[in-house]
């Protein structure tokens, strides 16, 4: 779901819930099979009990099949059909062997208790209502067709009412668990959104500061130094102090060179003025490795461009450190379907992927800091990073695109 | 000649250096690209010297102004002064053709001779590229491809100087060679790099830069 990238996948959670629900359902079917088998061995040598065992075993298989077939898309329909199959079985078995009605009631009610924290609220209301009706019906069948003394003596309405009443605490328990689960999910989603917002605020503030620093260095300090160098040279031609001025000018030029490299590293002016493609190509040119850059994507907002640029730069620096001197690096970014997808891949020896993931997960690891930076930066603009080291090191990312209108520049 | 730079200190310095050069008269000074375009329309100068980063966005206003001016007045020479040692800015500047255009780093302007050479070159229709930019391109090209390795050290030298915009005579003078030797080296370079050998000296600058940046 798009409002919770990275942290929690709501679809996956719902899927897990229904799977869990079906597992409980299968367990209650197993209990029914066991009861019928024990009854057959200990008390009644009847073909009906054998039929019960066969039927319930078939249901067990069907539930298992449905559980495996479940996906996020067919979740509702498959879940409902399996639940209905479960109820039908309880009714059919009670019709065949009225004295087993209590197994049927168990088979209908037990999944409801289990379903409480699992189902969405609307589904739970339907399940509880359906369950109460079916359980009462099963009891009614059991009593109507049973000829024991007790069942003749007690009015059927009272027993059916009793079963229906028995459903009340079951329903209350189920709804309570359901509400707590839903509240926990809501809290998790809200915290998730808060964390994401504060992370992107932090990254944005840091980037703004970088840009400010870069501009101060390029347009302030650097220009002043250039002006001083210029004055010194003018002084040189008019004062005849060439020997003492020349070394000063030389030193100033070295200082300018250092200053420019510093400012470029803080926030590359090319990124701001000409975008990702050229800024990454320039970074590739500065790298001692052979770097092929293919990043002809439309201009994006400053946050997205900075996130991608610094992520790629980090990956490039890693390649420089670890891929070996003869390695080549590929940087590619494409834009399609409202997303930017890209990767930085080298043909060096690579890493154990699990080792890299461990570095990212361990907040105290210094070696993982660069990788965590990438994950943080891309995450702050709503994207995901995948790291793999199996065939050379490869960093992949996808980010929701936020293209600039030409007028924004 | 017109000078545009939003930093007063820089602009005044540039004007003083320019006025020390014989035959240069500064007719207008501007704070931004808009003023520059207006002043050019009014004064009809031979050469414009403009800062690259000016208001409002402080990025590549100078380049965009140069391209606009060049489209309007093919004979006007424009030198862009930049604090950014990035070859991509030069390639952007030369996108529509490199004649009458120059890209110099700001630290170069303290040297009146170098500035005079650049101003003369763009006025005559030539191109000027800062040696630092050429150095970055050549070293990047050497690390990423074997093509540069096929050149002899002397040829690499000639290639670099050619990329700076020097004509054969100036190359010969700089490298202390005869003009014939320079022409021979250039032929060898163009055939090794698969470039058209009959390019005029100001057009070959763009061809060489483009090849270097690939």
Q: From CA A144, how far away is CA B64, in angstroms rounded?
A: 93
Whether the CB-CB separation of B127 and B202 falls below 8 Å is answered with: yes
**pLDDT at residue B104 above 70?**
yes
Residues A109-128: tens digit of each pLDDT: 877 776 777 677 777 888 88
Per-residue confidence (pLDDT) for residue A47, from 0 to 100 = 79
Q: Answer whether 0.80 is exceeded by the pTM.
A: no
Provide the β-strand partners of residue A330: A292, A345
Picking from A131-135, A381-385, B141-145, B154-158, which range would have the lowest pLDDT averaged per residue?
B141-145
Which residues are B82's β-sheet partners? Answer: B105
Over 90: is that where the pLDDT of A306 sits?
A: yes
Residue whose C-alpha is closest to residue A85's, from A110, A115, A55: A55
Mean pLDDT of chain B: 86
Say which residue, A334 or A237, is predicted with more confidence: A334
Q: Which of A83-92, A158-167, A376-385, B3-12 has the lowest mean pLDDT?
A: A158-167
Lowest mean pLDDT of A28-37, A79-88, B142-151, name the range: B142-151
Bridge partners, residue B102, by sequence: B79, B128
The pLDDT value recorded for residue A8 is 44
Residue B143's pLDDT band, with cuts at 50, 70 and 90, is low
A230: nearest CB among B57, B110, B136: B110
Mapped to the 3 state alphabet, what secondary structure does chain A carry? CCCCCCCCCHHHHHHHHHHHHHHHHHHHHHHHHHHHHHHHHHCCCCHHHHHHHHHHHHHHHHHHHHHHHCCCCCHHHHHHHHHHHHHHHHHHHHHHCHHHHHHHHHHHHHHHHHHCCCCCHHHHHHHHHHHHHHHHHHHHHHHHHCCCHHHHHCCHHHHHHHHHHHHHHHHHHHHHHHHHHHHHHHHHHHHHHHHHHHHHHHHHHHHHHHHHHHHHHHHHHHHHHHHHHHHHHHHHHHHCCHHHHHHHHHHHHHHHHHHHHHHHHHCCHHHHHHCHHHHHHHHHHHCCCEEEEECCCCCECHHHHHHHHHHHHHHHHHHHHHCCCCCEEEEEEEEECCEEEEEEEECCCCCCHHHHHHHHHCCCCCCCHHHHHHHHHHHHCCCEEEEECECECEEEEEEECCECCHHHC
The pLDDT of A88-116, averaged and rounded, is 78
The answer for residues whose C-beta is within 8 angstroms of residue A364's C-beta and 6 or more apart is none
Confidence class of residue B152 from pLDDT cuts 50, 70 and 90?
Answer: confident
pLDDT in tens, A252-298: 888 888 888 888 888 888 898 888 998 998 898 888 888 999 998 99
A230 and B143 within 8 Å at the Cβ level: the answer is: no
Q: Which residue has the higher pLDDT, B23 or B47?
A: B47
Answer whether B95 touches A (CB < 8 Å): no
Residues of B numbered 35-94 whose beta carbons fall under 8 angstroms of chain A's beta carbons: which are they?
A: 53, 57-60, 83-89, 92
A232: chain B residues, CB-CB within 8 Å: 110
pLDDT of amino acid A4: 35
pLDDT at A173 over 50: yes
Question: What average pLDDT score do residues B207-212 get?
Answer: 82
Most confident of A28-42, A52-66, B63-77: B63-77
Q: What is the pLDDT of residue A305?
A: 94
Q: Cβ distance A226 to A256 under 8 Å?
A: yes
Optimal mutation site among B13, B103, B111, B133, interface A, most CBs of chain A within 10 A:
B13
Mean pLDDT check: name the lowest of A247-251, A281-285, B107-111: B107-111
The residue-averaged pLDDT of A79-87 equals: 78
Tell me what pLDDT residue A196 has: 83
Question: Which pLDDT value is given to residue A76?
Answer: 63
pLDDT at B200: 64
| Residue A218 contacts B, CB cutoff 8 Å | yes
The whole-number pLDDT of residue A72 equals 67
Least confident of A197-206, A231-240, A289-298, A327-336: A231-240
Answer whether B7 sits within 8 Å of A223, measured CB to CB.
Answer: yes
User: Any chain B CB within 8 A of the CB of A270?
Assistant: yes
Mean pLDDT of A361-387: 84
Give percent of chain A above pLDDT 70.
91
A251: pLDDT strictly greater than 70:
yes
**Lowest mean pLDDT across A191-205, A295-309, B33-47:** A191-205
Task: State which H helix or E strand residue B51 sits in.
Answer: strand B47-51
State the average pLDDT over residues A229-233.
82
Q: Is any Cβ of chain A less than 8 angstroms from the Cβ of B144?
A: yes
Closest chain A residue to B53 measured between Cα atoms?
Answer: A219
Residue B188 has pLDDT above 70, yes or no: yes
**Distance between CA atoms of residues A260 and A270, nearest Å:** 13
The predicted pLDDT at position B166 comes to 87
What confidence score (pLDDT) does residue B197 get? 58
- Whether ipTM > 0.85 holds is no
pLDDT of amino acid A151: 63
Highest mean pLDDT among A149-153, A180-184, A237-241, A298-302: A298-302
Q: Is A236 near chain B, with CB under 8 Å?
A: no
The pLDDT-based confidence of B202 (bands split at 50, 70, 90) is: low
Nearest chain A residue to B87, by CA: A282
According to the model, what pLDDT value does residue A3 have? 38
Q: What is the pLDDT of residue A7?
A: 38
Predicted confidence band of residue A5 (pLDDT cuts 50, 70, 90):
very low
| Nearest residue in B to A281, CA atom | B88
């Amino acid at each position: 779901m798009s409002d919770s990238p990275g942290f929690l996948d709501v679809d996956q959670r719902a899927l897990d819930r229904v799977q869990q629900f079906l597992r409980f359902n299968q367990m209650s079917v197993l209990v029914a099979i066991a009861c019928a088998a024990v009854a057959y061995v200990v008390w009644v040598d009847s073909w009906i009990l054998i039929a019960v065992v066969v039927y319930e075993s078939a249901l067990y298989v069907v539930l298992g099949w449905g559980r495996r077939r479940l996906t996020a898309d067919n979740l509702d329909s498959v879940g409902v059909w399996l639940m209905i199959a479960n109820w039908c079985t309880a009714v059919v078995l009670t019709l065949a062997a009225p004295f087993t009605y209590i197994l049927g009631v168990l088979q209908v009610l037990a999944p409801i208790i289990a379903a409480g924290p699992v189902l969405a609220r609307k589904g739970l209301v339907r399940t509880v209502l359906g369950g109460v009706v079916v359980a009462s019906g099963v009891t009614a069948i059991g009593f109507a067709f049973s000829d024991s003394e007790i069942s003749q003596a007690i009015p059927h309405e009272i027993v059916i009412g009793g079963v229906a009443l028995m459903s009340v605490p079951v329903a209350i328990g189920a709804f309570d668990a359901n509400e707590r689960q839903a509240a926990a999910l809501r809290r998790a989603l809200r915290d998730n959104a808060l964390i994401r917002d504060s992370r992107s605020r932090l990254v944005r503030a840091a980037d703004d500061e970088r840009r400010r620093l870069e501009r101060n260095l390029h347009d302030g300090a650097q220009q002043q130094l250039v002006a001083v160098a210029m004055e010194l040279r003018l002084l040189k031609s008019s004062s005849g102090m060439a020997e003492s001025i020349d070394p000063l000018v030389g030193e100033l030029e070295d200082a300018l060179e250092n200053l420019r490299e510093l400012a470029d590293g803080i926030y590359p002016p090319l990124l701001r003025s000409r975008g990702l493609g050229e800024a990454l190509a320039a970074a590739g040119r500065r790298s001692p490795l052979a770097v092929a850059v293919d990043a002809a994507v439309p201009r994006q907002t400053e946050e997205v461009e900075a996130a991608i640029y610094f992520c790629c730069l980090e990956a490039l620096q890693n390649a420089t450190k670890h891929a070996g001197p003869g390695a080549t690096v590929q940087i590619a970014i494409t834009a399609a379907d409202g997303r930017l997808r890209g990767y930085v891949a080298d043909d060096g020896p690579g890493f154990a992927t699990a080792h890299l993931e461990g570095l990212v997960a361990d907040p105290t690891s210094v070696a993982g800091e660069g990788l965590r930076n990438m994950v943080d930066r891309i995450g702050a603009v709503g994207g995901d990073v995948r790291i793999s080291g199996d065939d050379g090191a490869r960093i992949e990312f996808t980010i929701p695109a936020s293209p600039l209108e030409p007028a924004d520049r | 000649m017109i000078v545009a730079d939003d930093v007063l200190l820089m602009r005044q310095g540039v004007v003083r250096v320019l006025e020390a050069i014989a035959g240069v008269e500064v007719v207008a000074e501007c704070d931004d690209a808009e003023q520059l375009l207006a002043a050019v329309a009014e004064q009809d100068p031979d050469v414009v010297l403009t800062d690259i980063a000016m208001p409002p966005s402080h990025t590549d206003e100078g380049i965009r102004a140069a391209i606009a001016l060049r489209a309007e007045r093919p004979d006007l020479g424009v030198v862009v002064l930049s604090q950014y040692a990035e070859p991509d800015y030069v390639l952007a500047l030369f996108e529509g053709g490199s004649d009458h255009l120059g890209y110099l780093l700001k630290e170069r302007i303290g040297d009146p001779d170098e500035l005079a050479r650049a101003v003369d070159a763009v006025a005559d229709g030539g191109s000027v590229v800062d040696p630092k930019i050429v150095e970055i391109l050549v070293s990047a090209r050497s690390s990423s491809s074997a093509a540069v390795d096929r050149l002899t050290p002397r040829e690499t030298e000639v290639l670099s100087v050619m990329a700076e915009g020097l004509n054969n005579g100036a190359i010969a003078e700089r490298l202390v060679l005869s003009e014939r030797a320079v022409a021979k080296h250039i032929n060898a370079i163009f055939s090794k790099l698969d470039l058209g050998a009959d390019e005029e000296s100001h057009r070959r600058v763009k061809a060489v830069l483009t090849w270097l940046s690939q």
